[in-house]
Amino acid sequence: MARNRKRQSQSNIYAHIIGWGMRVPRTVLTNEDLAAIIETTDEWIESRTGIKERRIANDRETTAQLGLRAAKDALAMTDVLPSDIDLIIVATSTPENIFPSTASMIQHWLGAYNAGAFDLSAACSGFVYALDMAAQAIRSGSIETALVIGAETMSRVLNWQDRGTCILFGDGAGAVVLQARDNPGGLLSSVLRSDGSGHDLLGIPTFNSPEVRSPSGISEPRLHKMYMSGGAVMKFATRVIGASIKEACRLAGITLDDVKLVIPHQANERIIQAAARSLGFENDRFMSNLKYYGNTSAASIPIALCEALEQGKVSAGDYIVLVGFGGGLTWASTVIKWGVPYPADRSINTLQERRRQAEYFLVKLRVRMSRWLRRLSDLIRFRRNRDDFDW
The beta strand positions in 68-144, using DSSP E, are 87-91, 116-120
- Decide if residue 268 touches ligand COA (CB under 6 A): yes
- Decide if residue 233 touches ligand COA (CB under 6 A): yes
Q: Is 255 left (phi over 0), alpha (psi -120 to 50) or beta?
A: beta
Q: With the CA atoms of 356, 312, 259 and 16 taken in that order, what torsion angle do they form, in degrees rounded to the nearest 10? A: 10
| Catalytic residue list contains 108 | no
| Catalytic residue list contains 283 | no
**What's the farthest any 2 CA atoms get from each other in the chain?**
83
Please name every residue paired with 319 in a beta bridge, in sequence order, or none if there are none: 259, 337
Q: Kindly indicate which of the ranges 159-167, 173-181, 350-358, 365-373 contains the residues binding ligand COA, using the contact rule CB under 6 A.
A: 159-167
* Closer residue to ligand COA, CB minimum distance, 57 or 272: 272
Q: How far apart are CA 231 and CA 288, in angstroms?
A: 21
Pattern of binders to ligand COA over 160-199, x per CB under 6 A? Answer: ---xx--x--------------------------------
- With CB atoms as reference, the residue minimizing the distance to ligand COA is 230
Contacts of 383 (CB under 8 A, 6+ apart): none
The beta strand positions in 161-318, using DSSP E, are 171-181, 186-194, 202-203, 227-228, 259-264
Q: Kindly indicate which of the ranges 82-90, 231-239, 253-261, 304-312 contains the residues binding ligand COA, using the contact rule CB under 6 A.
A: 231-239
- Decide if residue 230 touches ligand COA (CB under 6 A): yes
| Catalytic residue list contains 159 | no
Q: Kindly indicate which of the ranges 104-112, 226-234, 238-246, 278-286 contains the residues binding ligand COA, using the contact rule CB under 6 A.
A: 226-234
Smallest gap, in angstroms, from Cβ of residue 56 to ligand COA? 17
- Decide if residue 234 touches ligand COA (CB under 6 A): yes
Q: How far apart are CA 97 and CA 47, in angstroms?
A: 36
- Decide if residue 267 touches ligand COA (CB under 6 A): yes
Of 7, 27, 28, 48, which lies in the binding site for ligand COA, with binding defined by CB under 6 A? 48
Smallest gap, in angstroms, from Cβ of residue 67 to ligand COA? 19
Q: How far apart are CA 273 and CA 285, in angstroms?
A: 10
Catalytic residue among 124, 166, 249, 306, which? 124
- Decide if residue 275 touches ligand COA (CB under 6 A): no
Cis omega before residue 100 (within 30°)?
Answer: yes
Which of the residues 322 through 381 are near ligand COA (CB under 6 A)?
326
- Decide if residue 126 touches ligand COA (CB under 6 A): no
In a 3-state reduction of DSSP, which class is residue 313? Answer: coil
* Closer residue to ligand COA, CB minimum distance, 169 or 281: 169
Query: Judging by DSSP bridges, how do beta strands 87-91 and 145-153 pair with one another?
Result: parallel
Local structure of residue 106 (DSSP, 8 states): H
Q: How far apart are CA 77 and CA 233, in angstroms?
A: 37
Residues in contact with ligand COA by CB under 6 A are 40, 44-45, 48-49, 124, 163-164, 167, 228, 230-231, 233-234, 267-268, 295, 326
Catalytic residue IDs:
124, 265, 295
